[in-house]
Amino acid sequence: MYDTILVPTDDSEPAGEAVDHGIDLAASCDATLHVLSVVDSSAYASLDVSSEQALDELEARAEAATGEIAETAAEAGIEAVTTVSIGTPHEQITDYAEAVDVDLIVMGTHGRTGLDRFLLGSVTERVVRAAPAPVLTVRATES
Ligand code: ATP
Ligand code: MN
């Protein structure tokens, strides 16, 4: 039923729990796992030299994080495709889901900011509203 599963990650702990769930699910469905990390460009609207370096650094970190997830997936016998993009996270996630025609998106209820007073983080809320596929949200357990 789920042949192509997308797990977006901001390399946070809550996202990590969603990623683990996505890997388990991909394994049980024999699905291909797509891992997408978006470097948020809104913080870098007016690029100068120093922030361009910061952007490179963020891209490198996102590449390392998605690469690690792909390795974990490979150990579980799952084929994984990793992508790092720059832009507005919720737009990039829904555009990717549409372009690749994913069957399911698995993401955390929260991410880096992780404010508990909101039911959902803003990225997840917007993806749930606009996604072309069902969204499975994973609530992080308190640690
Ligand atoms: P907010 O960003 O609204 O202040 P938050 O950081 O707690 O709150 P979200 O950003 O919505 O919550 O994160 C929820 C989930 O969305 C994460 O677990 C992750 O799956 C996904 N996500 C968030 N940001 C990104 C990103 N930049 N790239 C890929 N996935 C992301
Ligand atoms: Mn966030």
What structural domains does the chain harbor? 4-139 (3.40.50.620)
Ligand 1 pocket by C-beta < 6 Å: which residues? 8-10, 14-15, 18, 36-38, 40, 89, 107-108, 110-115, 121-124
Question: What is the rounded distance in angstroms from the CA atom of residue 2 to the CA atom of residue 28?
Answer: 10
Q: Whose CA is nearest to atom 12 of ligand 1?
A: 121
Section 93-122 average pLDDT: 94
Task: Give the pLDDT score at 108.
Answer: 98
Q: What distance in Å separates the CA atoms of residue 113 and residue 94, rounded to the nearest whole number?
A: 20
Enter the DSSP assignment of 135: E
C-alpha span between 36 and 43 (Å, rounded): 19
For ligand 1, mutation pick of 7, 9, 10, 44 (most atoms within 8 Å of CB): 10
Q: What is the pLDDT of residues 9-57, one digit of tens each?
A: 999 999 999 999 999 999 999 999 999 999 998 876 666 666 788 889 9
122-130 helix and 89-100 helix, angle to the nearest 10 degrees: 40
Q: Which atom of ligand 1 is nearest to 39's Cα?
A: 27
